[in-house]
Amino acid sequence: MAATSSCIVNLGVKGNGNPEQPFSSSKSSQLLFSSNLSFAYNNTKYCLSLHSHQTLLSACLTKTKKSAFVVASAKPEHLKIMISGAPASGKGTQCELITKKYGLVHIAAGDLLRAEIASGSENGKQAKEYMEKGQLVPNEIVVMMVKDRLLQPDSQENGWLLDGYPRSLSQATALKEFGFRPDLFIVLEVNEEILVERVVGRRLDPVTGKIYHLKYSPPETEEIAARLTQRFDDTEEKVKLRLQTHRQNVEAVLSMYEDITLKVNGNLRKEDVFAQIDDALTKLFEDRKLNSGSLAA
């Protein structure tokens, strides 16, 4: 039997009149939404209160003698952000700083792929089959993983930060078709010489998994230094090829998000890089809060 739902509206007047009481077939209902809207007409102030319950929507209109103004209150939507950056651009560090301050859900396609495989989900099983054959996981599977993650309750309630995805125009188009569009597309721009230096100097501690840099973040002890390893593709020749591929991908994606793109100077210290991002996100959040919070006339 199909489930049915009903919505009952009550409009009453507070003050000298007796407000009508809202009726619900259920005596217990969970409050889902509450909002107040104040407005004025002919120097009379009216207040409309909306309360949405699982089984009930009630409204109440009140009037008082006040000067004319309009006030609306509602919770602003959470931020939806995408960030792109070349290898060693500092994207991981900026993602940590963004999620720490704004509470967004950090979603990285690579991490998501590994998690889906480990969980044994249907998408994960399909991806594993391709990987075991030494083949790239098709875009359709990765896009479905990303879509499913963006639809999870925590992403919907807290907002999200999509890290390093989409990487191609086809991926961006697929997300658009699913109804996902960011509020801001952040691009970290770093000079190629700096990127090459950062990548070539990177080292991995196989024991702890910590990443070091021979110049910028050297190991604490000689013992750690002796066991550090370098990724096979962290060479100057290979990193330049990866950077070329990255540039081509970003240029294609930018055509989709040109009007909401923020290009950030990533050559600076991480604190200064974050300051640029923070200014943009703060303004975006405040504008959203203003538009959904209160309007004065």
CB 8 within 8 A of CB 24: yes
Q: Of 29-38, 72-81, 137-146, 286-295, where does mean pLDDT reach its minimum?
A: 29-38
b/e map of 164-178 (b: 16 or more CB within 10 Å)?
bbbbeeebbebbeee
For residue 268, is pLDDT > 90? Answer: yes
Pick the more confident residue, 89 or 13. Answer: 89
For residue 6, is pLDDT > 90? Answer: no
Q: Of 17-31, 35-49, 158-172, 194-208, where does mean pLDDT reach its minimum?
A: 17-31
Task: Find, among 189, 140, 180, 188, the residue nearest to 160 by Cα.
Answer: 180
3-state secondary structure of 278: helix
Please tell me the pTM assigned to this model.
0.68
pLDDT at 184: 97
- Say which of 45, 149, 167, 203 is annotated catalytic: 167
Active site residue 167: yes
For residue 202, is pLDDT > 90? Answer: yes
CB 109 within 8 A of CB 165: yes
Q: State pLDDT tens for residues 43-74.
A: 554 445 444 433 333 333 444 344 333 344 44
CB 38 within 8 A of CB 266: no
If you ran DSSP here, which 8-state letter would residue 208 be given?
Answer: T
Q: Of 31-35, 94-98, 162-166, where does mean pLDDT reach its minimum?
A: 31-35
- Say which of 91, 149, 198, 203 is annotated catalytic: 91
- Say which of 45, 149, 198, 202 is annotated catalytic: 202
Task: Find, among 212, 167, 210, the residue nearest to 187 by Cα.
Answer: 167
Which of 96-105, 162-171, 235-244 tops mean pLDDT? 96-105
CB 129 within 8 A of CB 120: no
Active site residue 181: no
Mean pLDDT calculated for residue range 18-31: 38
Alpha-carbon distance 73 to 78, whole Å? 15
Residue 76 binned pLDDT confidence (cut-offs 50, 70, 90): low
pLDDT at 126: 87
Question: What proportion of the chain, given as a percentage, has pLDDT over 70?
Answer: 72
Say how many Å lie between the first and final Cα of the chain, rounded.
Answer: 50
b/e map of 14-52 (b: 16 or more CB within 10 Å)?
eeeeeeeebebeeeebeeeeeeebbbbeeeebebebebb
For residue 11, is pLDDT > 50? Answer: no
3-state secondary structure of 105: strand
Active site residue 91: yes
3-state secondary structure of 121: coil
Residue 140 binned pLDDT confidence (cut-offs 50, 70, 90): confident
Burial of 204 from C-beta contacts in 10 A (0-12 / 13-18 / 19+) = middle
- Say which of 66, 100, 231, 270 is annotated catalytic: 231
Mean pLDDT calculated for residue range 222-249: 91
